[in-house]
Structure 1
Amino acid sequence: MNRRLTLINPAYTRLWLGQAISSVGDAVFSTTLVLWVATELAKGRSWAPEAVSGVVLSTGLAVLFVGPLAGVFVDRWDKRATMLRTEVFRGSLVAVLTAVAFLPARDLPIGAWLVLIYLTVLTLNAASQFFNPARFSVIAELVTGEADRARAAGIAQATGQVAWIIGPPLAAPLLFTVGLQWALLFNALSYAVSWVAIRSVPAPAGLVAEQDRKRAERKSLAKEFTAGIRFFGGNRFLVALLVLAVIGQLGIGALNTLNVFFATRNLHASAQLYGYLGMAMGIGGIAGALCAGRVVEWIGARRTTWVGLLVSGSLLVLYSRQSVFASGVVLLFVFAVPLTMLNTAMSPLLLAATPREFRGRVVAVFYPVTQLSSMLAAVLAGWLAGSGLRGFAGSLAGLRFGPIDTIFTAAGVAVLAAGLYARSALPDPQAPPAPAPDPAPAGAGAEGTS
């Protein structure tokens, strides 16, 4: 492959290319379903918002309930084969929904359409809980070194941001000009492209050897799941990273839920301008992700994490005091840069602290917990703004406070506190990771599930 077109190494580049196309397909798929439910199935119905929220809820349920157990199986299975089979399954599932979508919408009751959509989204995201830890393990073998792993994480975050910039504007024309089925078919084909890209990457030798050892030492499903939880809970580094990630979700959850109200009330902007705030964060996220590898190489992943928390917490507090739309846009762009850098820096730290045989289970605990914390933060922020601090007004040192800016300020202070905690809680990066628990004798797993 032409060196100018290579990201980190050729194998990683091929894997990235497939995932980039698949990510755009996922963005088109998600946006298409939301638009179709809102503008066709539930058009003019009082329960339209609830119908749309069911799509989001289906995603969250898959992450929370399938994710933790999926890691046990991923640690048992061939990682590359798991990725390939998952892409076949997901592509086939979307292809089935595409075929059904050729039916006129009136041929099925609205309830049947909604159940079909929710089950498809739930199953697709359940399959993703197997794919994502497997990809994490494969990338860990393909990319070595803290700086390169940070670059890989940064590239992945930037790719995800770009996919969500490209996907939604592409989904609407596809849906309203050529129809639902063709928008869905786009996603099915994106899984096929991803399969081809994964197939072109040779199986990492380290994972093949690990798979052979795991097969010889197979234990019961319950024992392996318990061993993963015990390992995670006994590793100070992993626990500290999880605490930091959970606290970091406070700021994001508050922004995602309340920023539209902050824009209209505090920044005195029209609702039509709200999209520019999201665009500013998206561009800042891309900039931060692309710069993260160089910053980690310069100051290290551990320092990037705690400095990023301190800077982003301070910027969130500063954003909460804004009253002019233009300054709010600029601050959100700047805020997204260190926030994305610290999220990127956590990836090599997570890899360094996790032995190969536990990677699937660690990822399957880490990300569902952060997903749950993000959901809870959003719910808490909404409740505080709508009920808990409703009508709140006060002043301190000449500064006036209302409900939304108070919530943003509190979230920023929490992120600042997390940065101070990270500086002392994250162990020395030169220290070796905690050893994995001793495996049980080979015969101990005779009763296990395969």
Structure 2
Amino acid sequence: MTARLTLINRDYTRLWVGQAVSSIGDAVFSTTLVLWVATVLTKDKSWAPMAVSGVLLATGTAVLFVGPLAGVFVDRWDKLSTMLRTEVVRGALVALLAAVSFLPVSALPVGVWLALVYVTVLTLNASSQFFTPARFAVIADLVTGDADRARAAGIAQATSQTAWIVGPPLAAPLLFTAGLQWALLFNALSYAVSYVAIRSINTIPAAAAPAEPGGTKGATAHRSGLLREFAAGLRYFAHSRFLVTLVLIAVIGQFGIGTLSTLNVFFATENLHMSTHLFGYVGTAMGLGGIVGALCAGRVVQWFGARRTTWIGLLVSGALLVLYSRQTGFLGGIVLLCAFTVPLTMLNTAMAPLLLAAAPAEYRGRVIAVFYPVTQLASMLAAVLSGWLAGSVLRDVAGYVLGLRFGAIDTIFAVSGLIVVLSGVYAWAALPDRSGAETDGGPGAAGREEAGTAQHTVPDDEGLPRSSAAS
């Protein structure tokens, strides 16, 4: 018997290979840059944390300011060609920075090195804003049916989680034994592998011509201005009750979960009494939970439907976050954090068929380019708000309620968990399952129903993006 070497189908497998290699390269690249800036370029400088935060700021700036407009161009252009050109641009940028990095650090002022790093990170992430919605649209063409689309999303999340388990441990040895330039060249090579994998895909169905809301297609869409098409995408999103509901669920969930990214290191060391050298196990636990959740998500969506998976995932993950906030020991905290990530990843995976069902082909780029920047902004606001609360308003909170001790950080986590539970209740009420068999209606059918009915409904069962973006 011949072993099965394909995931869902042959062309999706090729796309996945490119993503897997590129994701590991990105994980190595991101970790290496942060380490290099913190331990080499700004070593012993009091402003080193600010220099590192500049890398994260460059990433967020690209998502918030380039992402929404990028969707207009993605909807205009051929999706595969967009992905290929993006990989060329990203590979060339990293290769250029690698070439410069062969110079001694002392050859250029620190400010020039930082400017090179920030511009490279900003441009790489700006390019990613074109790549991501184009890849989303290509997957919609390559994979049909709710269960297979959920499987594809689960495989993608498991791959990304694995990359962030494998990549960072490779980064430090590469940086401190081989040098920054070799870590950068590794990432440049990963983009080349991704290019070859994408280039081998040859069975994409002919894409529908872009259309304006009134049904005008083809040349008219191309003649219309950038702002007009962007506004048309915003109008479509705003007039779709289903899409608005999805983004509200995601935003509420991000406000509940985003606190972990800012405060978990303090919770682990203060509440769980974990030594700092063990903190790496927190990331490992979440990574393992993410992999389990992603690999199981396709089957769960097949059993329960994506809508039901979404609200159940929110309820369970919120409850587990509340339980996590009450932990006082290392083992219990790690186990609950791993368990918390499983349903979280499942509902993230359920979001893919929901979005694919709600977005017709001519609007996919703009729908994704609106959805993810909004949720990214919610995550950033949650991180800032939780840090401000823990450091000021709730800094001196301490006491007992019903025999349970509450401090600042565990209180914030408990409230965050309750917010996630409330978002699950809202999802249960706003995304009700309709009677009858579930459908595997494709995005085109969903788009026709979405645009052609007053209720803005979509096929039956088709969540929430990851709390941290990788790749």
Q: What is the TM-score of this pair, normalised by structure 1?
A: 0.94
- Contact 2:210–2:221 (8 Å) recurs in 1: no
Partner of 1:294: 299
Q: What is the one-letter code of the residue matched to 1:214? A: G
Q: Is it true that 1:240 corresponds to 2:263 in the alignment?
A: no
Partner of 1:170: 170
1:285 partnered with 2:270: no
Map residues 142-161 of structure 1 onto 2, 5 A cutoff: 142-161=142-161
**1:367 corresponds to:** 372
- Tell me, which stretches of 5 or more residues in structure 2 are unaligned? 440-445, 454-471
Give the structure 2 partner of residue 445 of structure 1.
Answer: none
- Note if 1:332 corresponds to 2:337: yes
2:230 matched to which residue of 1? Answer: 225
* Maintained 8 Å contact 1:75/1:360: yes
Q: 1:135 is matched with which residue?
A: 135
TM-fit CA distance, 1:215: 4.0
Structure 1 position 376 matched with structure 2 position 376: no
The answer for the alignment partner of 1:214 in structure 2 is 218
Structure 2 residue 72 is matched with structure 1 residue 84: no
Q: 2:260 aligns with which of 255, 260, 272?
A: 255
Are the equivalent residues in 2 in contact too, given 1:141–1:206 (CA < 8 A)?
no
Name the CA distance, whole Å, in 1 between partners of 2:167 and 2:273.
Answer: 30
* 2:346 match: 341
* Residue type at the aligned position of 2:120: T
Match for 2:149: what amino acid?
R
- Structure 1 residue 367: deviation in Å? 0.5
Q: Which residue of 1 aligns with 2:464?
A: none
Aligned-pair Cα RMSD in Å: 1.8
Cα contact 1:309–1:419 (8 A) shared by 2: yes
Q: CA deviation at 1:278?
A: 1.8
Aligned to 2:117: 117
Give the deviation of 1:240 after TM superposition.
1.0
- Contact 1:76/1:215 (<8 A) preserved: no
Counterpart of 1:448 in structure 2 is none
Q: Which residue of 1 aligns with 2:461?
A: none
> Counterpart of 1:444?
none
* Secondary structure in structure 2 of the residue aligned to 1:390: coil
Q: Deviations over 1:350-399 (max 9, x none)?
A: 11011110000000011111111111111111111111101112332222
The answer to whether the Cα contact below 8 Å between 1:76 and 1:214 also exists between their aligned partners in 2 is: no
* Contact 1:80-1:203 at 8 Å conserved across structures: no
Cα offset for 1:271?
1.8
Q: CA deviation at 1:255?
A: 1.0
2: distance between equivalents of 1:277 and 1:222?
Answer: 44
CA distance in 1, matches of 2:80, 2:217: 16
Of 313, 316, 321, the residue aligned with 1:316 is: 321
SS in structure 1 at match of 2:279: helix
Equivalent-residue separation in structure 1 for 2:452 and 2:124 (angstroms): 33
Counterpart-to-counterpart distance in 2, 1:403 and 1:58: 30
Q: CA deviation at 1:294?
A: 0.3
- Quick one: structure 1 residues 424 and 274, their matched pair in 2 at CA, closer, same or farther if it must change by over 3 Å? same
Residues 38-76 of structure 1 show CA distances to partners (whole Å, capped at 9, x for unaligned) of 111101111111111111110000000000000000000
Identify the residue that residue 105 of structure 2 maps to in structure 1: 105
Percentage of identical aligned residues: 70
1:415-434 aligned at under 5 Å gives the runs 415-428=420-433, 432-433=446-447, 434=449
Match of 2:274 among 269, 272, 281: 269
Task: Report the 3-state secondary structure (helix = DSSP H, G, I; strand = E; otherwise coil) of the residue aligned with 1:204.
Answer: coil
> Contact 2:308–2:433 (CA<8 Å) still a contact in 1?
no
Structure 1 residues 14-61: Cα deviation after superposition (integer angstroms, max 9, x where no partner)? 000011100101111111111111111101111111111111110000
Per-residue CA deviation, residues 319-371 of structure 1 (Å, 9 max, x unaligned), is: 11111211111111111000000010011001101111000000001111111
User: 1 or 2, which has the higher helix percentage?
Assistant: 1
Q: In structure 2, what is the equivalent of residue 23 of structure 1?
A: 23
What is the CA–CA distance in structure 1 between the aligned matches of 2:177 and 2:286, rounded to whole Å? 30
Q: TM-score, normalised by structure 2?
A: 0.90
- The AA in structure 2 aligned to 1:179 is G
Higher alpha-carbon deviation: 2-11 or 193-202: 2-11
Report deviation, 1:436. Answer: 3.9
Provide the rounded CA distance (Å) in 2 between the counterparts of 1:213 and 1:134: 19
User: How much has 1:213 moved relative to structure 2?
Assistant: 4.8
Q: What is the rounded CA distance, in whole Å, between the counterparts of 2:250 and 2:157 in structure 1?
A: 15
Establish whether residue 400 from structure 1 lines up as the match of residue 405 from structure 2.
yes
In the alignment, the residues of structure 1 paired with residue 76 and residue 391 of structure 2 have an alpha-carbon distance, to the nearest angstrom, of: 46
Distance 1:270 1:83 in 2: 43
Tell me by how many angstroms 1:208 deviates: 6.1
Match for residue 184 of structure 2? 184
- Please, which runs of 5 or more residues in structure 1 have no aligned partner? 439-450
Distance 2:86 2:208 in 1: 19
* TM superposition shift of 1:217: 3.5
**2:186 counterpart letter in structure 1:** F
Aligned to 2:311, which of 306, 309, 318? 306
What is the CA–CA distance in structure 2 between the aligned matches of 1:166 and 1:32, rounded to whole Å? 13
